Structure 1
Amino acid sequence: GARCACYSSDLLMRQYSQVREEKRRAGERFSYHDIKRVYTIVLIQKSTAEFHRCPKEYLHYARQTFNTGLELDMLQEYLLIPLDIFRENHQNISRKLDAWLLFIASDQPCDIREVIEAYPEFTELYREVFDFRYHKKELVSMYSEALRILDQNTVELMVELQQEEIKALREKNLRQEEENLRQREEMRRQGEEMRRQEERYQKELLRLQKLLDQKNN
């Protein structure tokens, strides 16, 4: 569960970074409504005990909801597919989803034949898979390019987050400087007021001293 949440959050943040950058380059205003729903589909070859408590179910769909009935689009949805439980329950291909899951879950000749007989278009997919087995360098290159793009997106996201932190820190420092300036101005004003009061006090003392001198004379 925690891993799925991390996967989903990572996908959402990657999309956020990409959309925000595209809006910035286009000179358009970014809105969170531009972010599309993120579906996290996890295929599990060997499922844990939690899944086996539902031995007849192999399509586990989830989304975030509120217990009050409040409806908000939280963007993140999940589909967990334990392939081992699918294989245990599989009897025949009755829909294309069954063909896809069997295509992913098994490389047994009898299963391959069953998929192709039900959906002949899978023949080309199997051919590509077999080609990759004999051209592993091409497969590695494909994954390397995908990882390079993911790493680049991650770096861009980290840089953007760092820039936002720096901007927030600068704004905080600017507000602090403005507050310090205001306090210094207030202290200067209070100092001026104290100086004027001191002058009035001294003048009053002189006046009283003159009156006292006149009375004594």
Structure 2
Amino acid sequence: MCTGARGVKMLYDAFFKEVMDPEYAPQRLSDFLSAVLGAPLRVKTALPNDTTRLTDESSLLVLDIVVEFEDGRIANVEVQKIGYLFPGERSACYSADLLLRQYKRLRDERKKQFSYRDIRTVYTIVLFEHSPEEFHAYPGVYRHCFEQTSDSGLKLKIPQKFTYIALDIFKKKQHNEGDRIHDRLEAWLTFFCRDEPEMIFRLIEGYPEFTALYEDVFELCRNVEGLMEIFSKELLEMDRNTVKLMIDQMQEKIDAQEQAIQQKDAELEAVRQEKDAELEAAKQQMQCQAESFEQRIAELERKLAER
């Protein structure tokens, strides 16, 4: 990075917050989120991130910020170096937490004037540098959007929406297409995940407004000592991520093995019960045969006595 052989990792917490700070440059984050969500949005302010996220899980995030738009909608933007296991379940929990925070805040502000129609949409936007296994079943798709729908066609306003972006899949797709940048969303994703100088030049040529963002990072990198401190912290976080992922995967493997053992035990118990039933049936059959033999012997003895 210092010699210019590679660009910086824009998704590192320090760099992202420097160039995308909603207080310093809200228009940048507004532009990025508008491209992600496919509609013009303006960021009003950053909200305190006091979710109920567990400490060990929050340490896995490269970035986690919550912003409020001018129309009251809320977006939680996460960047995960290594994708969590169970991404859907986790996102649903944190989205519910943000929705509850919004409900409590609006209820306290408006008191008796509060109505559930005041609730605004909560977006959960997750960017994966290394996406979970499920996403690789769709190798040509890097953006996935979710919202709740009815199987009957009934329309209800359910204010929770989710967007997942797999940057590793995007990079591979972009490389296979000759490193072309097709639209503004791809321009932003290129800015975040491509650090090759030729791609940086290509992005600036097509979208010169990104020059100012790179200049901000350049100023940050002039402090080499501070840059190394940032890099050391990011490496430490990456190590923690890797260890936690290994623990999660090992626990998942242990759970699967325990389930297999329980299933095998159940199968063996069923076989044992079946064998016991067969033995009991054979025992009863032999007892019946013995009683029949005893009756025949008694009959023969009676006939002999009569002679």
TM-score in same-fold range (> 0.5): yes
Residue 218 of structure 2 corresponds to 130
- Select between 99-108 and 8-17 the one with higher mean Cα deviation: 8-17
Corresponding residue SS for 2:98: helix
| Selected match of 1:51 from 135, 140, 151 | 135
Q: How many residues align?
A: 135
- State the Cα RMSD in Å: 2.1
Residue 213 of structure 1 corresponds to none
Residue 94 of structure 2 corresponds to 7
- Identify the structure with the greater helix proportion: 1
| Selected match of 1:105 from 193, 201, 211 | 193
- Whether 1:84 aligns to 2:168 is yes
In structure 2, do the counterparts of structure 1 residues 127 and 56 end up closer, same or farther at CA, with 3 Å as the change threshold?
Answer: same
Corresponding residue SS for 1:102: helix
Please give the TM-score of this superposition, normalised by the length of structure 2. 0.41
Q: Distance in 1 between matches of 2:91 and 2:217?
A: 27
Q: Distance in 1 between matches of 2:99 and 2:195?
A: 33
Corresponding residue SS for 1:8: helix
Please give the TM-score of this superposition, normalised by the length of structure 1. 0.57
Residue 61 of structure 1 corresponds to 145
User: Is there any run of 5+ residues in structure 2 with no aligned partner, and where?
Assistant: 1-87, 231-307
Structure of higher CA gyration radius: 1
| Shift in Å, 1:133 | 4.5
In structure 2, do the counterparts of structure 1 residues 131 and 14 end up closer, same or farther at CA, with 3 Å as the change threshold?
Answer: farther
**Structural mapping, 1:145-184, within 5 Å:** none
User: Is there any run of 5+ residues in structure 1 with no aligned partner, and where?
Assistant: 141-217
Q: 1:51-78 CA distances to partner (integer Å, 9 max, x unpaired)?
A: 0000000110110112222211111111
Residue 170 of structure 1 corresponds to none
| Shift in Å, 1:45 | 0.5
Q: Distance in 2 between matches of 1:132 and 1:22?
A: 40
In structure 2, do the counterparts of structure 1 residues 9 and 130 end up closer, same or farther at CA, with 3 Å as the change threshold?
Answer: farther
In structure 2, do the counterparts of structure 1 residues 132 and 19 end up closer, same or farther at CA, with 3 Å as the change threshold?
Answer: farther
- Identify the structure with the greater strand proportion: 2
Q: Percent identity?
A: 47
Q: Distance in 2 between matches of 1:61 and 1:32?
A: 25
Q: 1:127-170 CA distances to partner (integer Å, 9 max, x unpaired)?
A: 22333445669xx9xxxxxxxxxxxxxxxxxxxxxxxxxxxxxx
